[in-house]
């Protein structure tokens, strides 16, 4: 695990400093940066509901990227007030790509690989493997074409499918611990998303709303539908050779109750509100980003689970 | 490029179509029989019970350190959503819950008709009818109860519930032993039953073995509807021994209220 982090750090480092400066129009645009983090992971683990879609919103741009995401949770292992709290660490490396089909339609794909661990009283448990692959299409409904307007607007709508490529094991849901210690939901899930970006000169606000319809998996388990929302302010510092985009905002997630054999499972619904902040830097064909999310308010699994933090680092390359 | 994309979509679409009809759940197959697990998780108040070391405080400011918890679970009756009642065969329906023993927490009931169960009923102790069958009529359970220390003598009968440890109180400052044993007395039989609704249906199937997870609040034993002070039963400072008398029916009534279904797993 450490090796991977080091490798990413090296990649990030080299991309930021080793390329010669050319005073040309960078392939990097700040719309994309702003969108990077907006579809972040689920409170109950990426693994489970695979909501970390991270679809960028840049038009007419091909890119591939890599992101490392770390999520830390603490969950109660048992049904009593003095039941032990255990640490859960969800680590994800995800590859993503975005390909425009027409001027207004883009296809995105996201392939996560998870390394998750939880420190149960009985010993540490690890799961590792491919997560749920998401494929989505985005359509630009409206975009301000003129540069001269005071505000520019852009609206994207999209939808897609999350494939059950991550393993769902019933055994991981036994007992009274977090029901999301899984590599995937095991089900075909269907996200619909909307994005709205409003900008004035270098300052912008990006708003996203998305909803993931989740279906019953082959083990008759069904994760609750999920609603994600986020609003992020960003500002573009367009320096000679690099662009730097600091960003800050709020992001929230609301989970419906999970079901098993169509029966509601108690203490599986919840909601959480995060503050988020980060910075992205772009240079030539590369961009790197660092992001952090800290909970402001949360009520997950009737208080039996707490999100501590999430952070991510990513590297993108424009094709 | 576009062609490849369309192909990729076609593959996705076809696989959705195929997989979405392939996996019909086995929950609709309500034939045959299955098993059900009763899981007893002992606590004191809101907390999990930790034997010997944990001080448990009652509303009378008595602090109990508990060293032993045992009780007999018996005569399990399950009710289906449609009202059908299934009585678990009496010959198999006696279990000893024991906090300190690995096999004293979960009891697996087998050969239960498949169905959606919504209610469970069981006794604490051994019913009088069974006891009246005489020693010979008890089967293996007599020896089992004897080994577990849940039998006084054949004539005196079974111990239905046992709670032991030490306590301190505002008036008893040095840790003093206590023992609470329920069972029949000259005046009362003290067998009791509890009936609990299940918050989630227990789906007994050939392929699904539900677990009913009970949360037991042992504080209720002396600090329930009826409040009993151990210090009032500490005759001569030799320890509070409650094994008979007027307190037993009160404790029996308390015991019947200490069980709660926390949740049901259908795994």
pLDDT tens-place string over residues A170-208: 777 766 567 788 888 899 999 998 989 899 988 999 898
Q: What is the DSSP letter of B227?
A: B
Residue A143 burial class via C-beta count within 10 angstroms: exposed 0-12, middle 13-18, buried 19 and up: middle
Residue B2 within any structural domain of the chain: no
**At a CB cut-off of 8 Å and minimum separation 6, what does A198 contact?**
A151, A152, A153, A204, A205, A207
Residue B206 within any structural domain of the chain: yes
Please state the length of chain B. Answer: 267
**At a CB cut-off of 8 Å and minimum separation 6, what does A316 contact?**
A32, A56, A63, A64, A65, A66, A286, A287, A288, A289
Between CA B260 and CA A125 the distance in angstroms is: 31
Domain coverage including residue A292: 2-318
Residue found under tokens 């003095």: A82
Q: Which residues of B touch A173 (CB under 8 A)?
A: 267
Q: Touching check for A225 and chain B: CB below 8 Å?
A: no
Q: Touching check for A269 and chain B: CB below 8 Å?
A: no
Give the distance, in angstroms, between the CA of residue A219 and the centroid of all CA atoms in the same chain.
26
Q: Touching check for A80 and chain B: CB below 8 Å?
A: yes
Give the pLDDT confidence score for residue A16 in this predicted structure: 35
Q: Is B109 helix (H, G, I), strand (E, B) or coil?
A: strand
Give the pLDDT confidence score for residue A10 in this predicted structure: 38
Give the pLDDT confidence score for residue A174 in this predicted structure: 67
Residue found under tokens 């009936």: B195
Check residues A205 and B10 and name the one with the higher pLDDT.
Answer: A205
Of A164, A135, A149, A211, which Cα lies nearest the Cα of A47? Answer: A164
| Helix ranges, chain A (H) | 2-17, 30-35, 46-49
**What CATH number does residue A122 fall under?**
2.40.160.40
A88 and A74 in contact (C-beta within 8 Å)? yes
Residue B22 within any structural domain of the chain: no
Residue B111 within any structural domain of the chain: yes
Residue of B nearest to A83 (CA): B48
Contact B19 A107 (CB under 8 A): no
CA dihedral A78, A84, A89, A90 (to 10 degrees): 10
Residue found under tokens 């695979």: A50
Check residues A130 and B8 and name the one with the higher pLDDT.
Answer: A130
Q: Touching check for A122 and chain B: CB below 8 Å?
A: no
Q: In Å, what is the CA distance from A148 to each residue of A122, A145, A152, A200, A286?
A: 64, 9, 9, 10, 29
Please state the domain count of chain B: 1
Q: Touching check for A220 and chain B: CB below 8 Å?
A: yes
Pairing of strands A305-318, A63-76: antiparallel
pLDDT over 80 (residue B232): yes
Residue found under tokens 């059900």: B36
Residue B4 within any structural domain of the chain: no
Mutate to test the interface with A, among B55, B207, B219, B265 (most CBs of A within 10 A): B265
Q: In Å, what is the CA distance from A155 to each residue of A55, A60, A143, A196?
A: 14, 15, 6, 5
Between CA B120 and CA B109 the distance in angstroms is: 12
Q: Give me the residues of B, 46-75, that contact A with CB < 8 A.
A: 46-48, 50
Cα three-residue angle A10-A11-A15, rounded to 5 degrees: 115
pLDDT over 60 (residue B2): no
Pairing of strands B33-44, B47-48: antiparallel
Please list the ranges in chain A whose pLDDT falls under 70.
1-62, 147, 174-177
Mutate to test the interface with B, among A76, A77, A80, A301 (most CBs of B within 10 A): A80
Contact A135 B8 (CB under 8 A): yes
Q: Give me the residues of B, 171-200, that contact A with CB < 8 A.
A: 199-200
Contact B46 A82 (CB under 8 A): yes
Mutate to test the interface with A, among B3, B114, B266 (most CBs of A within 10 A): B266
Give the pLDDT confidence score for residue B149 in this predicted structure: 95
pLDDT digits (tens, 9 = 90+) for B116-172: 999 999 999 999 999 999 988 999 999 999 999 999 988 889 999 999 999 999 999
Residue B23 within any structural domain of the chain: no
Q: How far is B68 from chain A (nearest CA, A)?
A: 19
Residue B8 within any structural domain of the chain: no
Q: How far is A188 from chain B (nearest CA, A)?
A: 8
pLDDT digits (tens, 9 = 90+) for B34-82: 999 999 999 999 999 999 999 999 999 999 999 999 999 999 999 999 9
pTM above 0.90, yes or no: no
Q: How far is B25 from chain A (nearest CA, A)?
A: 7
Contact A216 B25 (CB under 8 A): yes
Residue of A nearest to B43 (CA): A80
Q: Touching check for B2 and chain A: CB below 8 Å?
A: yes
Q: How far is B234 from chain A (nearest CA, A)?
A: 30
**Nearest CB neighbour to B25, from listed A170, A220, A264:** A220
**At a CB cut-off of 8 Å and minimum separation 6, what does A129 contact?**
A113, A114, A166, A167, A183
Please state the domain count of chain A: 1
Domain coverage including residue B185: 32-266
Tally the C-alpha atoms within 13 A of residue A41's C-alpha that lie toward its C-beta.
36
A232 and A209 in contact (C-beta within 8 Å)? no
Joined together, the tokens standing for residue B142 give: 């007599």
Query: For B14, phi and psi rounded to 5 degrees?
Result: -65, -45
Give the pLDDT confidence score for residue B26 in this predicted structure: 60
Cβ burial A210-234 (10 Å sphere, 16+ → b, else e): bbbebbbbebbbbbbbbbbbbbbeb
């Amino acid at each position: 695990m450490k090796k991977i982090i080091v490798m990413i750090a090296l990649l990030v480092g080299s991309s930021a400093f080793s390329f010669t400066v050319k005073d040309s129009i960078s392939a990097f645009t700040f719309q994309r940066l702003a969108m990077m983090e907006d579809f972040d992971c689920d409170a109950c683990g990426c693994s489970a509901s695979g909501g970390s879609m991270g679809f960028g919103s840049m038009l007419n741009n091909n890119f591939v990227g890599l992101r490392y995401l770390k999520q830390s949770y603490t969950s109660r292992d048992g049904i009593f007030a003095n039941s032990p709290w255990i640490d859960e660490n969800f680590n994800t490396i995800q590859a993503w790509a975005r390909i425009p089909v027409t001027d207004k339609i883009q296809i995105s794909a996201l392939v996560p690989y998870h390394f998750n661990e939880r420190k149960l009283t009985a010993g540490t448990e690890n799961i590792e493997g491919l997560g749920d692959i998401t494929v989505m299409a985005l359509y630009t409904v409206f975009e301000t074409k003129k540069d001269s307007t005071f505000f520019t607007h852009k609206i994207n709508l999209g939808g897609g499918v999350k494939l059950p490529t991550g393993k769902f094991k019933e055994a991981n849901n036994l007992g009274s611990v977090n029901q999301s210690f899984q590599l995937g939901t095991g089900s075909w899930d269907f996200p619909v998303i909307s994005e709205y970006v409003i900008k004035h000169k270098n300052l912008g606000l990006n708003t996203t709303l998305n909803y993931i319809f989740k279906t019953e998996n082959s083990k008759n388990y069904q994760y609750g539908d999920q609603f994600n929302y986020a609003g992020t302010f960003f500002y573009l510092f367009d320096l000679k050779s690099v662009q730097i985009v600091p960003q800050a905002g709020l992001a929230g997630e609301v989970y419906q109750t999970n079901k098993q054999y169509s029966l509601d499972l108690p203490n599986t619904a919840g909601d959480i509100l995060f503050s988020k902040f980060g910075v992205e830097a772009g240079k030539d064909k590369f961009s790197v980003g660092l992001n952090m999310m800290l909970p402001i308010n949360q009520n997950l699994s009737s208080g039996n689970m707490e999100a501590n933090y999430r952070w991510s680092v990513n590297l993108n390359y424009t094709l | 490029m576009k062609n490849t994309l369309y192909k990729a979509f076609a593959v996705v679409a076809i696989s959705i179509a195929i997989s979405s009809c392939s996996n019909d759940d086995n929950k609709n197959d309500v034939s045959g029989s299955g098993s059900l697990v009763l899981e007893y998780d002992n606590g004191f108040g809101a907390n999990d019970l930790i034997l010997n070391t944990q001080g448990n405080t009652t509303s009378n400011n008595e602090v109990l350190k508990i060293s032993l918890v045992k009780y007999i679970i018996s005569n399990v009756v399950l009710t289906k959503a449609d009202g059908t009642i299934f009585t678990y065969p009496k010959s198999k329906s006696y279990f000893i819950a024991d906090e300190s023993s690995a096999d004293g927490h979960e009891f697996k009931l087998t050969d239960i008709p498949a169905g959606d169960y919504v209610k469970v009923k069981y006794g604490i102790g051994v019913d009088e009818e069974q006891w009246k069958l005489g020693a010979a009529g008890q089967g293996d359970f007599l020896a089992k109860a004897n080994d577990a220390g849940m039998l006084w003598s054949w004539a005196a009968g079974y111990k239905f519930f046992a709670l032991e440890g030490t306590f301190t109180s505002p008036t008893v400052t040095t840790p003093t032993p206590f023992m609470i044993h329920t069972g029949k007395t000259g005046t009362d039989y003290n067998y009791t039953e509890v009936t609990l609704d299940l918050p989630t249906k227990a789906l007994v199937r050939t392929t699904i073995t539900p677990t009913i997870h009970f949360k037991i609040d042992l504080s209720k034993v002396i600090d329930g509807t009826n409040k009993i002070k151990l210090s009032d039963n500490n005759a001569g400072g030799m320890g509070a021994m409650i094994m008979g008398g007027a307190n037993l029916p009160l404790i029996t009534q308390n015991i019947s209220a200490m069980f709660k279904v926390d949740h049901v797993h259908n795994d």
